[in-house]
């Protein structure tokens, strides 16, 4: 599907706007695909620039999916929640009852998350952002922390 032609911000080449599934690596997670969004594709350098409507809502939806998932969070997912909550690593580590270096190693995948820390990270997300609980409810997700 072709669309509006414009200029690439990276190389100055022509771009074509298409609707496609987009691997949302910018989220910090390697398994997030945004289905059927508009993406500007550069015909010269091959660059892709997604046009993500309601980005905050998309990020909240990802956070809700992580909170509701039935198995332990990964380090990247803990980092995603922390950053979505806009909480610094020192503050989040303190709230989890661990030191900063422990949380850093956990987020970088050097340590696996304990079940207790996993549950606490999810609970902190819901306490810090009550609207996430509302989103869980509106999506009819019943199994929560």
Which two three-digit tokens encode residue 17? 């706007």
C-beta separation of 28 from 79 below 8 A: yes
Distance of alpha carbon 96 from alpha carbon 137, whole angstroms: 25
Q: What is the pLDDT of residue 96?
A: 94
DSSP secondary structure, 85-135, as one string: TT--HHHHHHHHTS-HHHHHHHHTTSSPPPHHHHHHHHHHHHHH-HHHHHH
Residue 1: predicted pLDDT: 43
Nearest to 72 by CA among 34, 25, 119: 119
Distances (CA, A) of 144 to 41, 63, 118, 132: 39, 13, 12, 11
pLDDT in tens, 12-47: 899 999 999 999 999 999 999 999 999 999 999 989
Rounded mean pLDDT, 108-112: 94
Q: Looking at the predicted structure, is the pLDDT value of residue 138 above 90?
A: no
| pLDDT at residue 141, as a whole number | 67
What predicted TM-score, i.e. pTM, was given to this entire model? 0.84
Q: In the chain, what percentage of residues exceed pLDDT 70?
A: 92
Is a pLDDT exceeding 80 seen at residue 145?
A: no
DSSP annotation of 12 reads -
pLDDT digits (tens, 9 = 90+) for 67-95: 999 999 999 999 999 999 999 999 999 99
Predicted local confidence at residue 143, as pLDDT? 56
CA atoms within 13 A on the CB side of 14: 6
């Amino acid at each position: 599907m072709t669309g509006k032609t414009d200029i690439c911000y990276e190389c100055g080449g022509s771009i074509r706007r298409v609707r496609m599934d987009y691997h949302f690596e910018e989220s910090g997670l390697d398994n997030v695909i945004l289905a059927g969004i508009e993406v500007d594709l550069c015909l010269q350098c091959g660059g892709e620039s997604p046009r993500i409507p309601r980005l905050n809502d998309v990020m909240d939806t990802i956070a809700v999916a992580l909170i509701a998932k039935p198995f332990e969070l990964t380090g990247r997912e803990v980092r995603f929640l922390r950053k979505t909550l806009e909480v610094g690593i020192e503050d989040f580590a303190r709230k989890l009852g661990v030191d900063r270096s422990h949380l850093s190693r956990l987020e970088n995948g050097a340590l696996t998350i304990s079940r207790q820390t996993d549950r606490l990270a999810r609970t902190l997300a819901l306490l810090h952002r009550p609207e996430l609980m509302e989103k869980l409810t509106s999506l009819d997700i019943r199994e929560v922390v």
